[in-house]
Amino acid sequence: MPVVEIPVEKWNGQVHQVKLGGVGGRKELIVGGDNTLPFLKFEGTVPHRPAIAIEVLDYTPPNWAEPLVKAWGDVLKSPVAWAKKAAEYGANAIALRLRSAHPEEGNTGAEHAKRVVTDILGAVDLPVIVLGPEVAEKDNEVLVAASEAGRGQRLALGDCFDKNYRTIGATCLADGHVAIAKTPIDMNLAKQLNILLSDLGLTMDSILMDPTTGALGYGLEYTYSVMERLRITALMGDKMTAMPMICTVGEESWRQKESKASAGVPATWGDQEKRAIIWEKLTAMGLLNAGANIIVLRHPKTVEDVKVAINKLFA
């Protein structure tokens, strides 16, 4: 009888552990700490399961796909009600996107950001991730305001790009938050930005990285592979690629035609709502298996099933 010896990789490295919340009655969320590939408990430890954050916008999204509007209903009009609902749906964290600060989407400023962040922090006891509109100057403006509003609450603030990492990194440092470093699907750029942030003084347990999500059919394979490479490099001992990874799955997936189009598409695409939700679920599954530590989702049904899958992977 052939003797099967399960090959076990001996890794030297480990993903850093990062804690969000956990202060002043706020729930604690710890991600990372793995010293093996995703979910492979037979060869290492995976101390924390990947977390699910639900995305909440600071304004009523003007052009969301019909199935999302249907699922959330009236709460889309109030970030606070929306966040509470997200907590009911089982989010491990709220990912608040300050999209209304975008120059083309309302151009709101620091005051508005401060107010929404304060309201959300008051309304839910979950850890909060605050994301800017991804326009460097506006990011600086609203994220600094958000940082001050949440001082000491250990938020995660993003995104730090090569252009604005100094301001956002500094405010994270001053107010005790975690910085999210976002780079365009490139291992060297990711590593470089992590180094720049740590040169500012942020410790290894205060940085998350966003490798940039490509949705299923829209670059998923690139994200998948860069994440696998980042994780493997981290496990081989490179501390500057060992930050836990956060992926904006919902945002990317629901942007695509497959999710948005209700008519005028081939019959072979099938029912829009079912297809769109599976689109988001498969994007999530792919990236969880590539090493995602936090998945930011949009549809409640996706949240429910991704949770089931994570629990089974983790069991």
Partner 1 sequence: MALTGIEIYKYLPKTNCKKCGFPTCLAFAMKVAQKTVNITICTDLSAESRAALEAAGRPPIQLVTIGGDSKKIEVGNETVMFRHEKTFFHPTGFVYRLKDTTPVDSILQEVQAIAEYKVERVGRFLAMDGFAIENASNDAATFAKTVEAVKSKTDLPLILISKDPAAMEAALAKATPGKPLIYAANKDNWEKMADLAVKNKCPIAVTSSDGLSELATLAEQINKKGIEEIVLDPGARDFGTSLTTLTQIRRLALKKNFRPLGYPIITFPGEGAASVDLEAMLAGQQVAKYAGIVVLDHFSPAMVYPLLTMRLNIYTDPQKPIQVTPGIIQIGTPKPTSPVCVTTNFSLTYFAIAGELEAAGWASWLVVCDTEGLSVLTSWAAGKFDAEKIAKTIKNFKVADNVNHRNVVIPGHVAVLRGELEEELPDWKIMVGPREAVDVGGFLKQNWKN
Nearest to 208 by CA among 28, 18, 47, 29: 18
| Interface pattern 237-276 for partner 1 (x via CB under 8 A) | --------------------xx-xx--x-xxxxxxx-xx-
281, 291, 294, 303: which one binds partner 1 (CB under 8 A): 281
Residues paired with residue 307 on neighbouring β-strands, in sequence order: none
Name the segment binding partner 1 (CB under 8 A); options: 15-23, 32-40, 142-150, 242-250: 32-40
Which residue type, as a one-letter code, is found at position 242? Answer: A
Residue 23 or 185 with smaller CB distance to partner 1: 185
Contact 194, 239 (CB under 8 A): no
Angle at 243 between CA 179 and CA 124, to 5 degrees: 50
Q: How far is the CB of 219 from ligand B12 (least distance, A)?
A: 3
Q: What would the DSSP string read from start to end of 255-297?
A: TSHHHH--SSS-GGG--HHHHHHHHHHHHHHHHHHHTEEEEEE
Please give the Cα distance from 109 to 145 (Å, whole number): 9
Instruction: Determine, following the binding rule CB under 8 A, whether residue 6 of this chain makes contact with partner 1.
Output: yes
* Window of 30-38, 72-80, 216-224, 233-241 that interacts with ligand B12 by CB under 6 A: 216-224
DSSP assignment letter at 157: E
Fill in the per-residue mask, 226 to 265: x = in contact with ligand B12 (CB under 6 A), - = not in contact. --------------------------x-------------
β-strand pairing of 245-247 with 292-297: parallel
Given CA atoms 255, 70, 73, 119 in this order, what sign does their dihedral have?
Answer: negative
Q: How far is the CB of 259 from partner 1 (least distance, A)?
A: 10
Question: Binding residue for ligand B12 (CB under 6 A) from 73, 103, 152, 184?
Answer: 184
Question: Which residues contact partner 1 (rule: CB under 8 A)?
Answer: 1-7, 37-42, 184, 216-222, 224-226, 228-229, 232, 257-258, 260-261, 264, 266-272, 274-275, 277-279, 281-282, 285-286, 289-290, 301, 305-306, 308-309, 312-315
